[in-house]
Structure 1
Amino acid sequence: MLAVVMLINRTGSMVLPFLGVYMTDHLGFGLKETGIVLSFFGIGSVVGSWFGGMITDKIGEFKVQSFSLLISVPLFCLIPLFKTEVGLAFIIFLQSTVSEAFRPANSVAVTKYAKKGNITRSFSLNRMAVNLGFSIGPALGGILSAISYDFLFYSNALGALLAGLTYIWFFRNRIHRNENSTQTHTDEKSISPYRDTKFLLFSGLCLVFTVCFFQLLNTLTIFYKEEAKLSQQLIGYILGYSGLIIVILEMLLVQIAEKKFKLRFTLFIGTFLCGISYAMLGFDHGILYLFVAMTILCVGEIWTLPFMSTVTALRSGVNNKGAYMGLLGIGFSVAFIITPTLGTYIAEQFGFSVLWIGTGILMTLTAVGFYFIIPWMLGEKQKESDFE
């Protein structure tokens, strides 16, 4: 049911992929100003991930998810009222703070409701719902934005409202399936993630990956619009295609990785494929070529993102899952600060080809880092292909 809630919420998620286009095309912002405003989404995400993780350990994931979804509703409706850079940066910061508090609470809920031994598949099912919604949302967003950008914000508000009501109705009296199945380090179960050196290094690699990967949500759409000369509708179709591919392939590819690969190899190959996908954009941008690159990116994403959450769950203890998931979320959120500004700056100063080839090289180095740090962090006795 968590996946159903996520599906409802993400089906209405049309704002972020088109936010950069909204500012450049509708409000007339330059690339530099657009990157700065988009970075405030990342700043709010950092605050929301930290606060959400901390408060989840204190009041529980049910209250945090409920409040986050319901308070997001009026905030989405307010965004179209702000037309200046300062005003838009403020409301985006506030909205992202509230909405991103949902992320660590939701991850904790997955670990508590998942069957023993199914944690990665549970994260994957949740992500599959996200991407099914993402395949619908941006496609609709491309159509609606061609009529009026305001529809994007109101649709997001409606999605958050429906998701919040559904979640509260179904989970208000639910009992957790388990509390202890993902604890693997009894000697470190109470340590703060901010004092866990090994996990901090892993989080650093996750940050580098997400800085590169989340160009999908901002710089890539600008590239599609400005360099590849795609229409808003076609941009929406490509993004929707990515979500559809993940829905079709994710559970199959995750099961293959669990059975055939070691955990460190899964993250290595997933990250490497993402790097290949972005590097391809530096050489051509024909429409079929772009779809091929997006397909490779989707496969890489499937073998990276859910397994990051698995590693985090395995590393955490019973009473600090929210803090660990929150720190992982902070890395994602910091990427939202760095990526728009850095990506648009490199594209403006050196061109998109340099940006994409550089991204590919950096992701390759990150893949190597994952390969060596994961067995060191989880310990020699941890069977990397067995997530029980």
Structure 2
Amino acid sequence: MKSVISLYKNAFGGLSPAAWMLALVIFINRSGTMVIPFLSVYLTSSLGFTLVETGWVMGAFGLGAIVGSFLGGWLTDKIGNFKIQTFSLIGGGVMFFALSQVKDFYPLTIFIFCVSVISEMMRPANQISVASYAKPENVTRAFSLNRMAINLGFSVGPALGGLLAAVSYDSLFIVDGVTCIGAGLVFFFYFRNKQPNKNAPKSVDEETRDKSVWKDYPFIGFILLVMCFAIVFFQLFGTWPIYHREQFMLSEQEIGLLLGLNGIIVFLFEMILVYKIGEKISIHKLIVFGTVLNGLAFICLYAIEAKFGLYIACVIISFAEIFAMPFMVTHTVNRSGKKNKGAYMGLYAMGFSSAFMFAPLVGTNLIAEIGFRHTWLVLAIFAFFVAISFYVVMKKIRPQVKSGSVIVTE
């Protein structure tokens, strides 16, 4: 028992107070994440939308996330991450209040696009904050702490959201809005006079230090693969809840608990795994392994047509997230420079946002054409292809550094 406690203590040691406060802010924000996990169920069961209409609404959220990620990254390089995060959190909270009153397909599609633009502007700005307040040797652990807070919050949000949804879907929008505004106020009052770490990570790639991200073609190839990874992964929040409801008749509470399991697993294991393997295994190997696990989760759904298969698949995809995502963002930090960090983080966020747009469209349309089971098989094969592509592309980008730290060049 003492060795386990010591392991966790070492894994969390050495992180700055600012890194912990950023984690607290994101935890408050994500603990109220209730609208998006239940959006597909809300649209189909409460508003009576078809699967295809639901896919378009979810796609509009993804398109807004792309625009928001681009604006967030671009504006962060111009006016700084503090203003962007404050505006995104508080403005997004206000928008969630209003969203609960929009019920028709076309107005809802437009409105959720706007909600997404404002909310997702935070993503690149927040990631730059994490890098700015981290010691160079702790950058991956700082990102993992932030992701741990996200997943801890996400383990609370959907579980509580499932209970609230059984009473009233409108309450989901209210709680989501309140936690966004609360997180924005905490962030504003703590960081308004806070200065970033002077020894924050710098680029490890001399050739890309001041280069436009749009001319860094190897990195663009990497982002396209990140998007492909995320298209598969985001089925967890898009088509999986529909599958749970339609094929296994799970209640909102059960769906929320199942989604919460993902957050709990990441919360419990990511930091210690990053700590134990971060200095021993190169980034590209970890990302490839995580992508393979992503595909195996869908093989599990394809092969096991029983309720316990849902839990096994959730466990596997949670470890896919642990082994891939923290190292994807570390690679992005490695690749960027001081003058273009916002652009690099913005493009990275755009990769995930694009996936959030395409994932529901791909998933719902595939299901409409070939059914749930064959959709899982197609997505599994696609994930394995992406894993192979990651291996090829990242081996060619540059010699790999270990994943636990960022090399600093002056």
Q: How much does 1:179 deviate?
A: 5.6
Structure 2 equivalent of residue 216 of structure 1 = 236
Q: How much does 1:122 deviate?
A: 0.7
Matching residue within 347, 368, 377 for 1:357: 377
Summarize the Cα distance change of 1:322–1:179 in structure 2 as closer, same or farther, 3 Å threshold: farther
Q: Does 1:134 align with 2:154?
A: yes
Map residues 3-18 of structure 1 onto 2, 5 A cutoff.
3-18=23-38
Structure 1 equivalent of residue 22 of structure 2 = 2
For residues 314-363 of structure 1, the C-alpha deviation after alignment (integer angstroms, 9 at most, x for no partner) is 00011111100100111111112211111001111101111111111111
C-alpha distance in structure 1 between counterparts of 2:242 and 2:214, whole Å: 35
Normalised TM-score (structure 2): 0.92
Where does structure 1 lack aligned partners over 5 or more consecutive residues? none
Structure 2 equivalent of residue 387 of structure 1 = 405
User: Which letter maps to 1:137?
Assistant: G
Structure 2 equivalent of residue 70 of structure 1 = 90
Map residues 74-153 of structure 1 onto 2, 5 A cutoff.
74-153=94-173
SS at match of 2:137: coil
Structure 1 equivalent of residue 6 of structure 2 = none
8 Å contact kept, 1:39–1:336: yes
SS at match of 1:281: helix
Q: Comparing 146-155 with 254-263, which one deviates more in the overlay?
A: 254-263
C-alpha distance in structure 2 between counterparts of 1:43 and 1:365, whole Å: 25
Q: Does 1:287 align with 2:307?
A: yes
Q: How much does 1:289 deviate?
A: 2.0
Structure 1 equivalent of residue 15 of structure 2 = none
8 Å contact kept, 1:264–1:372: no
Q: How much does 1:287 deviate?
A: 2.6
SS at match of 1:303: helix
C-alpha distance in structure 1 between counterparts of 2:343 and 2:79, whole Å: 13
C-alpha distance in structure 1 between counterparts of 2:75 and 2:31, whole Å: 27
C-alpha distance in structure 2 between counterparts of 1:57 and 1:324, whole Å: 10
C-alpha distance in structure 1 between counterparts of 2:261 and 2:100, whole Å: 27
SS at match of 2:304: coil
Task: State percent identity of aligned pairs.
Answer: 42
Q: Does 1:373 align with 2:393?
A: yes
Q: How much does 1:74 deviate?
A: 1.5
SS at match of 1:81: coil
C-alpha distance in structure 1 between counterparts of 2:303 and 2:246, whole Å: 16
User: Which letter maps to 2:79?
Assistant: I
C-alpha distance in structure 2 between counterparts of 1:82 and 1:22, whole Å: 12
8 Å contact kept, 1:139–1:233: yes
Summarize the Cα distance change of 1:87–1:179 in structure 2 as closer, same or farther, 3 Å threshold: farther
Where does structure 2 lack aligned partners over 5 or more consecutive residues? 1-20
For residues 215-256 of structure 1, the C-alpha deviation after alignment (integer angstroms, 9 at most, x for no partner) is 111111111111222111100000111101110011111123
User: Which letter maps to 2:352?
Assistant: F
Structure 2 equivalent of residue 276 of structure 1 = 296
C-alpha distance in structure 2 between counterparts of 1:387 and 1:372, whole Å: 23
Q: Does 1:225 align with 2:210?
A: no
Structure 1 equivalent of residue 362 of structure 2 = 342
Runs of 4+ in 1 over 4 A off after TM superposition: none
Q: Does 1:296 align with 2:308?
A: no
Normalised TM-score (structure 1): 0.97
SS at match of 1:117: helix
